Amino acid sequence: MRGVDRTIPQSAMNSHPNHQSNLDDSPQQNNRRRLAFIDHLPTFRQYVQDTWLDLLVVICVGALALGLNSADNASTRQFPIIFREDGDVVYPTFSYPRRKSIIPIWLDALLAILIPTLFFIIAQIRVRSFYDFNTAFWGVIWAIASTTLFQVFIKTLIGGFRPHFLSVCNPDLSRIGSGTGFQGIMYDISICSPDANKAHLRDATKSFPSGHTTAAAAGYVYLSLYFNAKMKIFSNERPHFYKLLVFLAPLLGACLIGGVLTVDNSHHWYDVIAGAIIGTIGALSAFRMSYASIWDYRFNHIPLPRPKSAWSPFGTHDGYASGSAINTEPKTTTPENFSYATGVPTFPSFAHPREWCPAGAPGDAWSRNELINADANFQRQAHYGA
């Protein structure tokens, strides 16, 4: 990396936990350091400049998804109906009764956003970085918004019949014999009763894939990845068992939501599986867009900087961020040509233990010396800014 001094200056050594610090270690000063992350909060203008495009795209994606979801299916699918001699319809796959959804889709999507956001907020007790919270929050929004649009496109263009389809369709028995295919058992929705509820009928033809499961998987898989990154559940050390339970808990929530959909006759098992796959892919993609890695424990907790952003805690490779001579004024501009770097120059040292500092990835992660220097600079900034 350009302009990086690989040597450890004496000032940085003094600020390292293994060396005596020459800074004020009074309780008041320590409290100021713990709250120093407030200095890195963006102004309202900076935040708007950084997020307005994301917000606009999310709104457009949501509006497009709502419009597609209320539209009729683009394809005409056929389904088999077998009439017994007494006139009763026999085809059990689509013959379940229509039941009220146990979890409405709006509540499912809301929980998929609010529950992860709640834990992002709780994590700030230790992380203490608004930039990290903002990155995590927008990441889960991206995951849910993108996968929702993805599954709505499939619902509208491909679709599928829900388990309660025939209960909503209520086939017109006067149309017996008008079917097509082998033995004339295949029909389309034109055989449905004229009195059938149009909205219910349209919804009953959009079973594949499951929108509930897509949103749940996107939100809760993302949360599990966040837990792993912050708690280092999958790393080079054997953690306590409770951490595995923390990692699996959101996945259990997603599985339960998917299972409930088969109980209330809203979806088939394959609808749920397809929704889970779409949501998981969206969560993995959004997390990697937001953080330096998905599974690499060395730096999967580090939120990525945004190039040419009006606000970012990641500075240039000069001043604080470079490990060169310590300046009294931090530089917070981003480099003209963005280079992949996962340093944490403005994160408090207590945000993540030093054992989890990036190491062994030259060119991709900050060296230990650079992190020691960056931490010294951060503490010096907190000291002089007090």
DSSP symbols for 26-43: SHHHHHHHHTGGGGGPPP
What percentage of the chain carries pLDDT values higher than 70? 67
Confidence (pLDDT) at 345: 40
Question: Does residue 203 belong to any structural domain of this protein?
Answer: yes
Question: Does residue 174 belong to any structural domain of this protein?
Answer: yes
Confidence (pLDDT) at 286: 97
* Domain final residue pick, 234, 261, 290: 290
Confidence (pLDDT) at 322: 33
Question: Does residue 176 belong to any structural domain of this protein?
Answer: yes
Do 196 and 81 have their domain in common?
A: yes
Confidence (pLDDT) at 188: 84
Do 20 and 79 have their domain in common?
A: no
**Distance from first CA to last CA of the chain, Å, rounded?**
32
Do 278 and 323 have their domain in common?
A: no
| CB-CB contact of 220 with 239 (8 Å) | no
Confidence (pLDDT) at 306: 79
Confidence (pLDDT) at 298: 86
| CB-CB contact of 279 with 254 (8 Å) | yes
Contacts of 369 by beta carbon, 8 Å cutoff, 6+ apart: 6, 7, 8, 323
Do 280 and 323 have their domain in common?
A: no
Residues taking part in catalysis: 212, 267
Helix (H, G, I), strand (E, B) or coil at 266: coil
Contacts of 47 by beta carbon, 8 Å cutoff, 6+ apart: 311
Do 23 and 166 have their domain in common?
A: no
Do 224 and 134 have their domain in common?
A: yes
In 90-164, alpha helices (H)? 105-127, 130-157
Structure tokens at 101: 């959804």
Do 319 and 262 have their domain in common?
A: no
Confidence (pLDDT) at 48: 87
Half-sphere exposure of 171 (CA within 13 A, CB side): 28
Question: Does residue 54 belong to any structural domain of this protein?
Answer: no
Do 105 and 242 have their domain in common?
A: yes
* Domain final residue pick, 259, 290, 321: 290
Do 150 and 239 have their domain in common?
A: yes
C-alpha–C-alpha distance, residues 155 and 146, integer Å: 14
Do 193 and 285 have their domain in common?
A: yes
Do 179 and 260 have their domain in common?
A: yes
Question: Does residue 248 belong to any structural domain of this protein?
Answer: yes
- The number of domains in the chain is 2
C-alpha–C-alpha distance, residues 256 and 252, integer Å: 6
Confidence (pLDDT) at 173: 75
Low-confidence residues of the chain, pLDDT below 50? 1-24, 315-367, 386
The 10 Å CB-count burial string (b at 16+, else e) for 38-63 is eebebeeeeeeebbeeeeeebeebee
Question: Does residue 372 belong to any structural domain of this protein?
Answer: yes
Backbone angles phi, psi at 344, to 5 degrees: -125, 65
Do 257 and 354 have their domain in common?
A: no
Question: Does residue 199 belong to any structural domain of this protein?
Answer: yes
| CB-CB contact of 50 with 309 (8 Å) | yes
Domain that holds residue 336: 10-42+311-384
Confidence (pLDDT) at 285: 96
Question: Does residue 55 belong to any structural domain of this protein?
Answer: no
* Domain final residue pick, 256, 290, 324: 290
Asked whether the bond before 362 is cis by omega within 30 degrees of 0, the reply is no
| CB-CB contact of 166 with 94 (8 Å) | yes
C-alpha–C-alpha distance, residues 372 and 351, integer Å: 14
